[in-house]
Chain A
Amino acid sequence: MAPPFAAAAAAAAVASSSSYALFSASADRPLLRHQMPPSSISVRPRRRTTAASAAAESTGRALLEARDLFACVKESGEEILTGLNLTIREGEVHALMGPNGSGKSTLMKVLAGHPEYEVTAGTVIFKGENLIDMEPEERSLAGIFMSFQAPVEIPGVNNYDFLLMALNARREKKGLPALGPLQIFPIVEEKVRALDMNADILNRAVNEGFSGGERKRNEILQLSVLGADLALLDEIDSGLDVDAIEDVAKVVNGMLAPHNSVMMITHYQRLLDLIKPSYVHIMEKGKIVKTGDRSLAYYVDESGYKDIATV
């Protein structure tokens, strides 16, 4: 078993928070921001193509493929996903939009194996394997990371210890020896800084008493410490102030590489300006009814979702 809750971890985090303050003199952070205006936040050139041409040139290997996916709420049997199709290739950024209650969060949770839902029909292949047969933790270890729209509080479990446990679960899977609390400190510290988070947050219980924005940033902290081949980001922009959205976008963009992909749910343009999607999907009543490029998002911004399927 992983030895995650060493009291030393807490001690390390305490000790660190003071040293943290030493080299995070607030003077150097704004400077960083000036060097990198929002418009150039993307760290690598992104394809700007129409959906049609994107489909034509889709040479990347399929990372995730969902076919005719049906899923319901386990307890009530209420059907939420109603024949959904989706392909995400390596290196792509997808945006998922759609009216409230259309099933966007449900789709992500189903992909991440949330126990509240049951897949009743269809297939999901992730990296060539049947995703639906995998336990939630296996999906995570296989490279899927979902940031929760509403992350839960875990009283009594130290945030830093939690990161250590999660990191060591990944190392164990790779056959690497577990790391001690002090060894991961430099990694975590750097990410905390990149997200402009208060290091004190490491020494508190996971999400307990965190503000809405702190919770969201904490999700992205986990993403950046753990890494992911496919990041499913559920409304990471809601509840974040403007500066925080930029920090988060910077971190997400920084993680993008030719082999990993992002799907993000958002209701707003701003995030799409910062993390530029190659595809925009519109979801309605449990399926994707339209796919296009960023111009689709502009259309939604202007005209809403009415009749969008026929545009």
Chain B
Amino acid sequence: MSSPSLCAATCSTSLRLPPPILRFRRPGALASVPAARSAPAVSDDLVLRIAEQLEDSVAASSPLLDPLRSASALSLLSTRWPTRRSNEAFRFTDISYLRSLPISLPSQAPALAAPSSPYPSYIHFSDGVLTSTSGVHVSALADLPPGPARDRAAAVLAASAEFADKDLFYDFNAIGAKDVAVVHVPEGVSMADDPVHIMFSYSGNGDGSMVMSNPRVLVLAEKGAEVAIVEEHFEVGQEDGGCYWANPVMEIILEEDAKVVHSYVQRQSFEAAHTKWTVIQQSKSSKYEFVEVSIGARLNRHNLHIQQLGPETDTQLSAFHFLSQDKQIHDLHSKLILDHPRGLSNQLHKCIASSTGNAIFDGNIKVNRYAQQTDAGQETRCLLLSPKALINVKPNLQIIADDVKCTHGAAISGEHDPNALYFFQARGIDVKTAADALNFAFGAHVINKIPFKPIEKNALAQFKELLASSRQE
């Protein structure tokens, strides 16, 4: 906590944290880390090994991240690697792929230039390293000049140290993030026409190890501000698919009356892992619209966490997951916590699982005592294209308030409506082509909600290609 500029914003938080930053040592060396070991922590060799690696690599990171880093370092000391048996949040999700290969960290200087963006405002992370930013309200945390914007960002990051629902991936990111890309939209500013395009390109390093990266983004929409962000995670370079582990965190703060339109496309290589946190806080009368399209990665775990901070919020969530590969795992764990009156929310989850894919959806919506007159809808629809594909869905609405309107629906089917198929046939279109069209329509329904044409078109094209290739098998 050496940075003086941090003090005003974060001292209440940072005081509670144990300075200085912990150093990780694996069991055996643990005796030399006396700090914060008052309770007998259950440490885990693998967790500590990764933490140690990450910590060694970020020696020169921004001091504004210290409170967050310290808190996460502390939790990691007592966090065990989650297993399906020991950890309810991973009950259906087999993350063993993450420990199947040695983990390496990205080199300091990524050689690749930023991929071109159709938009003037963009942020580029190359293998998790923040390499460039462009646009008025976009900056690296490290480059923010002292002033209110920087103080605000620091305060938010420090408060993130207190995030109660986090898991070890969140903590890994906290200690592994070197810098934070900050999108700060000041009060009343509307920049919704063109999005801030956040590009996460990954390549792996082709040496049989899994390159782990921990990019972090903070979006701050002040009172009445409007911003659109497009977040894309994709492969560059490697022909046959790079092996890497992307572990990003995206935090979005919506102040009163703010509006954030968030599109998120994950199309990484099928050798890659993607463990992601999206953490949203919505103040009074704010509106958050989210569209997720996840079609890549061998293992994909997305934690979407939305906390309502004031009344009359509007939350629109749509997600589409397509599992086209053998043993592919896609998991969406979402949690929406409503604590204030007259909130409106809609969640749509759709997925198609083919081959031996395993899709998981755990969608929790909590309508707490003071969230009266909430209108919350949740729907999940899954399509199983192969007898060996597996889907675990657990949509759950927990309603404590008594004056609410909540609707939910869940449907899993293995085939299309025969009347719809016949309609195609009656017009000369064979069943396979018809099923393709219906599968495509199923996913396009969500992809079409991406409000930016080039991004939408690209996602549609990739989905279509995967659909065609998965059919040939």
A interface residues, Cβ below 8 angstroms from B:
1-2, 4-5, 7, 112-115, 135-137, 140-141, 145-146, 148, 151-152, 154-157, 161-162, 165-166, 169-170, 173, 205-206, 222, 226
Contact A169 B437, beta carbon cutoff 8 Å? no
Query: Contacts A156-B438, A165-B433: A113 and B425 contacting too (C-beta < 8 A)?
Result: yes
Contact B428 A166, beta carbon cutoff 8 Å? yes
Q: In the docked arrangement, what's the CA distance between A190 and B433, Å?
A: 27
Contact B441 A155, beta carbon cutoff 8 Å? yes
> With an 8 A cutoff between CB atoms, is B440 at the interface?
yes
- Nearest 5 Cβ contacts at the A-B interface: A156-B441, A140-B428, A136-B425, A166-B427, A169-B428
- Among residues of B, the one whose C-beta sits closest to the C-beta of A135 is B425
Q: Which residues of A contact B429 (CB under 8 A)?
A: 2, 137, 165-166, 169
- The segment from B85-93, B237-245, B390-398, B416-424 that touches chain A is B416-424
Contact with A along B441-468 (1 / 0, CB 8 A): 1101100000000001100110010001
Q: Which residues of B contact A226 (CB under 8 A)?
A: 427-428
- Among residues of B, the one whose C-beta sits closest to the C-beta of A156 is B441
Q: Which residues of A contact B445 (CB under 8 A)?
A: 155-156
Contact A156 B428, beta carbon cutoff 8 Å? no
Q: Which residues of A contact B427 (CB under 8 A)?
A: 137, 140, 162, 165-166, 169, 222, 226
Give min CB distance, B348 to chain A, whole Å: 13
Give min CB distance, A74 to chain B, whole Å: 11
Contact A156 B444, beta carbon cutoff 8 Å? yes
Q: Which residues of A contact B422 (CB under 8 A)?
A: 114-115, 136
B441's partner among A140, A146, A154, A222 (CB-CB below 8 A) is A154
Contact B468 A1, beta carbon cutoff 8 Å? yes
Give min CB distance, A123 to chain B, whole Å: 21
- Among residues of B, the one whose C-beta sits closest to the C-beta of A141 is B428
Q: Which residues of B contact A170 (CB under 8 A)?
A: 428
Q: In the docked arrangement, what's the CA distance between A154 and B424, Å?
A: 10
Q: In the docked arrangement, what's the CA distance between A1 and B433, Å?
A: 7
Contact A140 B423, beta carbon cutoff 8 Å? no
Contact B437 A165, beta carbon cutoff 8 Å? yes
Q: In the docked arrangement, what's the CA distance between A140 and B367, Å?
A: 53
Give min CB distance, A85 to chain B, whole Å: 24
Q: Which residues of B contact A136 (CB under 8 A)?
A: 422, 425-426
A157's partner among B419, B432, B441 (CB-CB below 8 A) is B441
Q: In the docked arrangement, what's the CA distance between A137 and B427, Å?
A: 7
- Among residues of B, the one whose C-beta sits closest to the C-beta of A3 is B464
Contact B464 A137, beta carbon cutoff 8 Å? no
Give min CB distance, A192 to chain B, whole Å: 17
Q: In the docked arrangement, what's the CA distance between A12 and B428, Å?
A: 23
Give min CB distance, B444 to chain A, whole Å: 6
> With an 8 A cutoff between CB atoms, is B56 at the interface?
no
> With an 8 A cutoff between CB atoms, is B415 at the interface?
no
* Interface pairs (25), CB distance under 8 Å: A2-B429, A2-B433, A5-B440, A5-B464, A7-B460, A112-B426, A115-B422, A137-B425, A137-B427, A137-B428, A137-B430, A141-B428, A148-B423, A148-B426, A151-B423, A154-B423, A155-B441, A162-B424, A162-B427, A165-B424, A166-B427, A166-B428, A206-B423, A222-B427, A226-B427
Count of chain B residues with Cβ under 8 Å from any Cβ of A?
31
Q: Which residues of B contact A154 (CB under 8 A)?
A: 420, 423-424, 438, 441
Q: Which residue among B417, B419, B440 has the maximum number of chain A CB atoms within 10 Å of its CB?
A: B419
- Among residues of B, the one whose C-beta sits closest to the C-beta of A205 is B441
Q: Which residue among A156, A162, A226 has the maximum number of chain B CB atoms within 10 Å of its CB?
A: A156
Q: Which residue among A2, A137, A206, A226 has the maximum number of chain B CB atoms within 10 Å of its CB?
A: A137
> With an 8 A cutoff between CB atoms, is B436 at the interface?
yes
Q: In the docked arrangement, what's the CA distance between A206 and B460, Å?
A: 19
Q: In the docked arrangement, what's the CA distance between A146 and B426, Å?
A: 7
Q: In the docked arrangement, what's the CA distance between A260 and B166, Å?
A: 70
Q: In the docked arrangement, what's the CA distance between A50 and B428, Å?
A: 36
Give min CB distance, B359 to chain A, whole Å: 19
Q: In the docked arrangement, what's the CA distance between A290 and B256, Å?
A: 75
A140's partner among B418, B426, B437, B461 (CB-CB below 8 A) is B426
Q: In the docked arrangement, what's the CA distance between A166 and B434, Å?
A: 10
In the complex, given contacts A2-B433, A152-B423, A162-B437, what are 10 additional A-B residue pairs having Cβ atoms less than 8 angstroms apart?
Answer: A1-B468, A2-B429, A137-B427, A140-B427, A140-B428, A146-B426, A148-B423, A154-B438, A157-B438, A166-B429
Q: Which residues of A contact B471 (CB under 8 A)?
A: 1
Give min CB distance, B429 to chain A, whole Å: 5
- Among residues of A, the one whose C-beta sits closest to the C-beta of B441 is A156
A5's partner among B426, B428, B444 (CB-CB below 8 A) is B444
Q: In the docked arrangement, what's the CA distance between A172 and B433, Å?
A: 13
Contact A152 B425, beta carbon cutoff 8 Å? no
Give min CB distance, B417 to chain A, whole Å: 8
Q: Which residues of A contact B460 (CB under 8 A)?
A: 5, 7
Give min CB distance, B464 to chain A, whole Å: 7
Q: In the docked arrangement, what's the CA distance between A140 and B460, Å?
A: 30
Give min CB distance, A17 to chain B, whole Å: 17
Contact A115 B423, beta carbon cutoff 8 Å? no
Q: In the docked arrangement, what's the CA distance between A76 and B71, Å?
A: 67
- Among residues of A, the one whose C-beta sits closest to the C-beta of B443 is A156
Q: In the docked arrangement, what's the CA distance between A205 and B437, Å?
A: 12
- Among residues of B, the one whose C-beta sits closest to the C-beta of A4 is B437
Q: Which residues of B contact A205 (CB under 8 A)?
A: 441
Give min CB distance, A109 to chain B, whole Å: 9
Give min CB distance, B311 to chain A, whole Å: 33
